[in-house]
Amino acid sequence: MRIDLIALKCYNFSLLFNKLITFLKLGDCKVYEKILNGEGEGIRAVLLDKLAKAFGIYESEFANQYVETLKNANFEVLELETQTRLVVGMGIPSFFENGITLHHTYGIPYIPASSVKGLLRFTYLVGCLDVFPLEVSNLSLPKPFRWKNEDLEPEEVFKTLSAVDTILINSKDYDDFTKSLDSDKPLNLKGSKTLKDLLEISNREILENFYTTYVELFGNLYQKGKVIYADAIATKFKFAVDIMNPHFTEYYQSSQNQRKNKEGIYLIADIHNPTPIPFLAVEKDSKFVFVYKPPKDFRNKHLLKDLLKNGLLLFGIGSKRRKGYGYFKPLQLG
């Protein structure tokens, strides 16, 4: 069966990616049986590669309509280009073992609004707690805290970020927020350190601005945020096939001594016959539009855009970010 010819005639990649097993069952029983019998890793990789190459560079008419519709509804639109490969939704069940987030109707890649909002929230906290320097053009970030010790371990920093975020999410109002900050509850760190042991409030007025801005941008369990976030849609993209090698059965099942060579160096290499697992990614230099709708006269509109640019450039989005996936190209702020 010429899978590449099927791909050339199909404009919805989601159908190819998720329903290909049906084509194989009807058209090539031998391939289908091999995959069912666990002999199909190489076959999957070849099929995936053929699909990605045949589909080529794709510009979506739906994406253009999507953008125009949201612009008419007073959404802010920001188009950014990927600096590295991007993969979102690897945990989604798939015939190819690893999934990818594709629009259920039009079959194009997208980044869920919840992921975009989560990245913005993390970037806001990182900037406000001065964990990482951000470039913000129009409005300065409210920075109400001062670290008591500059030589903190990464675990202490991120446990602190998580604790502040949890307090913000669970605070009924500003007074409740300030009371929770004074809690003596330990952060599950060495020495039973509390939030007060790591952070101190340097400015109460800025602290209120910090809390108010957070609630306006993201909301919490008791207050609705003022911004509507929409899915980020790919406007121009190309698929790429990549592999990962997590399965080194012989290595992991051997003893500590058996894992070392004569020089005492741990061996984890091709000699252990790893099983390459193919997965689909969006190729670098693809374009996505990020859309959100702030209310009229929203004072933090420019801050939101700058947080988005900083977050996508510095922290990335999607899966395998530690491996360099999910980062976007820098743009001039403003």
The answer on 63 and 50 residing in a single domain is no
The answer on 252 and 316 residing in a single domain is yes
At residue 334, the pLDDT reads 46
The answer on 288 and 149 residing in a single domain is no
The answer on 64 and 52 residing in a single domain is no
Low-confidence ranges of the chain (pLDDT < 70): 1-12, 15-48, 50, 53-56, 95-96, 136-139, 189-191, 246-274, 331-334
The answer on 208 and 310 residing in a single domain is no
What single DSSP character describes residue 257? G
Q: How many CB atoms lie within 10 A of CB 256?
A: 7
Nearest to 16 by CA among 65, 55, 60: 55
The answer on 133 and 99 residing in a single domain is no
Q: Which of 9, 30, 56 is the last residue of a domain?
A: 56
The answer on 126 and 105 residing in a single domain is no
Q: Which two tokens stand for residue 321?
A: 């970010």
What single DSSP character describes residue 102? B
Residue 94 near residue 323 (C-beta atoms within 8 A): no
The answer on 233 and 334 residing in a single domain is yes
The answer on 155 and 6 residing in a single domain is no
Strand partners of residue 229:
292
Q: Which of 180, 200, 218 is the last residue of a domain?
A: 218
Nearest to 21 by CA among 93, 114, 82: 93
What is the pTM (predicted TM-score) of this model?
0.82
The answer on 305 and 268 residing in a single domain is yes
**Surface-to-core class of residue 294, CB atoms within 10 Å of its CB (0-12 exposed, 13-18 middle, 19+ buried):** buried
Task: Give the Cα separation of 41 and 38 in Å (integer).
Answer: 8
The answer on 62 and 52 residing in a single domain is no
Task: Give the Cα separation of 31 and 255 in Å (integer).
Answer: 38
At residue 333, the pLDDT reads 47
Which segments of the chain does DSSP mark as H helices, in order? Answer: 3-9, 13-27, 29-36, 41-55, 61-72, 113-128, 154-170, 174-181, 195-198, 204-218, 249-253, 301-314
The answer on 180 and 280 residing in a single domain is no
Show the domain range for 319. 58-112+227-334
Q: Which of 171, 190, 218 is the last residue of a domain?
A: 218
Domain count, the chain: 3
Q: How many CB atoms lie within 10 A of CB 29?
A: 10
